[in-house]
Amino acid sequence: DDFSNTEQTVLISAKEKIIEVHSNKENISEISIFDVSGKLLYHESTIDATAFKIPGLYSGNQVLIVKTTLENGTITSTKTIF
């Protein structure tokens, strides 16, 4: 059952204009960042690490959606204020 594991595996933090993505269990394979209208602001598909920093993303104060794909195929979408 996909809902039996409620432990959060991907953590997103945004401060000082840097977005950090951390995975507790699996390597991150891909990250996409969208604004609330669905416009793609950032995409990286060659990560292969459990942590990744995104500095210098040009965006005003707004809610962003960070879509993270792990190597095992798990996809999470997280809202963050940037």
- Reported as a single tens digit per residue, the pLDDT across 8-44 is 689 999 888 899 999 998 999 999 999 999 999 999 9
- Residue 6: pLDDT above 50? no
Tokens standing for residue 50: 């459990």
- Residue 2: pLDDT above 70? no
Question: What pTM was computed for the model?
Answer: 0.85
Residue with tokens 């996409």: 32
Element (H or E) spanning 53, and its range?
strand 51-55
The Cα-based distances of 50 to 1, 13, 40, 58 in angstroms read: 24, 14, 22, 24
Residue with tokens 């953590």: 11
pLDDT band per the 50, 70, 90 thresholds, residue 65: very high
How many CA atoms does the CB half-sphere of 27 hold within 13 Å? 7
